[in-house]
Amino acid sequence: MRKIIFKRDVPISNTVLWQLQKDGLFPHSFKLHGSKTVAWYSDEIDRVLALRAAGATDGQVRELVDQIHIERKRTAEAIINGGAAS
């Protein structure tokens, strides 16, 4: 099971976090079971931080974040269609 990170564990202000997500530089959060609680997968955040630490450009980070969102969608579709998550 993938580890989940909650907003309280992300040391970024809500305004900055919203702007990063809007700009495609941070994965979008997701709501947990209809609640107002938002979360991220820790491995996704780790990938973005590792790329940043390696000196990646904003364009490279956007490509990774786009890839993360595509992977989420494919995983969800596989689960919905009765297949295993990839």
User: Residue 86 pLDDT > 60, yes or no?
Assistant: no
Q: Is the separation of the CB atoms in 3 and 43 below 8 Å?
A: yes
User: Residue 13 pLDDT > 80, yes or no?
Assistant: yes
User: What does DSSP say about strands 38-41 and 4-6: parallel, antiparallel, or unpaired?
Assistant: antiparallel
Give the global pTM: 0.86
Segment 29-58 mean pLDDT: 92
pLDDT band with cut points at 50, 70 and 90 for residue 26: very high
Segment 58-79 mean pLDDT: 96
Residue in 51, 54, 9 with CA at minimum distance from that of residue 26: 51
Question: What distance in Å separates the CA atoms of residue 60 and residue 48, rounded to the nearest whole number?
Answer: 10
